[in-house]
Amino acid sequence: MPAGYGRRMDLTVIETPTRQQIAAEHLILSICIANKLGAADLDRLAHRLAQIDAIADARTIGINHEHYLSCN
């Protein structure tokens, strides 16, 4: 019997970036290099982006909740 026969195989989904995403990443890298921004700077910016996303999500949830209440 072949090795691994009868075992469950886990598959990993790998998202392929679009051309636009690749171009955006190159632009971001170019800006970082031109402004001498390092990995720590990008990490800090990533945290800020996560905060901005969380605020936007909270506002969207609040708007949807108010809309739901006004419809009932």
Report pLDDT digits (tens) over 20-49. 999 999 999 999 999 999 999 999 999 999
Contact 42, 32 (CB under 8 A): yes
Residue 52 lies in a domain: yes
Residue 60 lies in a domain: yes
Residue 62 lies in a domain: yes
Residue 72 lies in a domain: yes
Counted domains in the chain: 1
Q: Give the CA distances from residue 48 to residues 21, 25, 27, 28, 54, in Å, rounded to whole numbers and listed in that order.
A: 20, 18, 19, 16, 10
Residue 66 lies in a domain: yes
Domain extent, residue 47, equals 38-72
Q: Quick check: 65 pLDDT over 60?
A: no
Q: Residue range 11-25: average pLDDT?
A: 91
pTM of the shown model: 0.55
